[in-house]
Structure 1
Amino acid sequence: MKSRHALALPALLVVAIVLTAPGAQPASAAEEQMSKAEADGIIFERQNLMLQFDKDAELLGEIAAGLKPKDKLAEVTASIAETAAASKGAFEPRVPGGRAKPEVWSNWADYSRRLDDLEKNTKQLAEFGAKGDLTSVTNMLGGALQCKECHDVYRGPKKPA
């Protein structure tokens, strides 16, 4: 008859392999005990941040194209920077759902680096916006707001209504 320790060793090895697999991250106790309502709230917050970001980016594009007056330049670039700064924290809880692909968490190092770059770039964008420097804001747009490149990897398609 095998001892309990001899039987437990293979099970522990399986757990160790799973937890050390590339991209594997054990869920925290808080995440394991999160209610559906709490998870839905986190997803809702993330979606609202991204909707605000989209709305502000669209307005900024219209200002840069000369379709809207530049009197809102400082306000809209500040809002974009604030939203970018809040985005990483909104994704730190490992709560799948919305349009976020599982790769957000399995490739967290890359995803969080992209959010850090977004925050840094939009902060500079807001500094130019605060000065009313539309030329510098316009010149930075393509490099600062690389939404499509990130969405191609980390965001799923819209779900049918």
Structure 2
Amino acid sequence: MKKRNINGLIGLALCTGVSLAAAAPVALADDMMASADTAYETREGVMKAIGGHMKALGAVAKGEAAMDAGTPIHAQAIMELSHTVKFLFPEDSITEKSRAKPEIWLDWDGFMKASMDFETASAALVEAAAGSDPAALGAALGDVGKTCGGCHKPFRGPEK
């Protein structure tokens, strides 16, 4: 199977969005007057950016793309975005569109632990992406994926 060099292209496309999305949660945390719709749109953008970076790294882990200069950039972006998750859920930010469950705020400590687990796994992903072993990258990416599920299962409702 021919390996595609997609990391650089996806990275270029996503980095612009990541830069914008990463700045927004900080603004939300500072602006308590942010509307529920704005909070929802911001977190949707961040989560889609994380998913895009994970998809690019998944292609490397599966041998569909080569590890290249874009690989650590994707991992770094995931790690940086992981630090914003705790700011994406201000109180009263549930909308009709949102899949966020009230359990986020009812079990804030549990939500924060899940957020910290994501940050920790993302830091390990950065280390794996700096190497040259797609299997190590895949294992670290799998650990990140487990933290995503560890948050989504208790705190995210079904698709609407």
Fold conserved (TM > 0.5)? yes
| Identity across matched positions, percent | 29
Unaligned runs of 5+ in 2: 1-30
- Contact kept, 8 Å, 2:114 with 2:151, in 1: the verdict is yes
C-alpha displacement of 1:53: 1.0
Question: Is 1:94–1:105's contact at 8 Å kept on the other side of the alignment?
Answer: no
Question: Any residues of structure 2 matched to 1:90-129 within 5 Å, and which?
Answer: 90-97=88-95, 98-129=98-129
Q: Which residue of 2 aligns with 1:78?
A: 76
User: What SS does the corresponding residue of 2:88 show, helix, strand or coil?
Assistant: helix
Inter-partner Cα distance in structure 2 for 1:106 and 1:58: 32
TM-score, structure 1 as length reference: 0.69
Shift of 1:121: 1.3
Higher relative contact order (CA 8 A, sep 6+): 2
Write out per-residue CA displacement over residues 1-54 of structure 1, whole angstroms, 9 at most, x where no aligned residue: xxxxxxxxxxxxxxxxxxxxxxxxxxxxx85xx46xx22111111111111111
C-alpha displacement of 1:130: 2.7
Q: Could you tell me which amino acid in structure 2 is paired with residue 135 of structure 1?
A: A
Partner Cα distance (1:90, 1:84) in 2: 10
Q: Could you tell me which runs of 5 or more consecutive residues in structure 1 were left unpaired when the two chains were aligned.
A: 1-29
Partners in 2 of 1:77 and 1:62 — Cα distance?
13
Partner Cα separation in structure 1 for residue 53 and residue 105 of structure 2: 26
Corresponding residue to 1:49 among 22, 39, 46: 46
Matches within 5 A, 1:130-149: 130-146=130-146, 147-149=148-150
Question: Contact 1:73–1:134 at 8 Å: present in 2 too?
Answer: no
Partner of 1:21: none
* Structure with bigger gyration radius: 1
Q: Report what 1:6 is aligned to.
A: none
TM-score between both structures, scaled by the size of structure 2: 0.70
For 2:61 and 2:76, the matched residues in 1 are separated by: 15
- Cα pair 2:75 2:122 within 8 Å, conserved: yes
Q: Contact between 1:81 and 1:123, CA under 8 Å: does it hold in 2?
A: yes
- Extract structure 1 runs of 4+ deviating beyond 4 A: none
> 1:61 pairs with 49, 52, 58, which one?
58
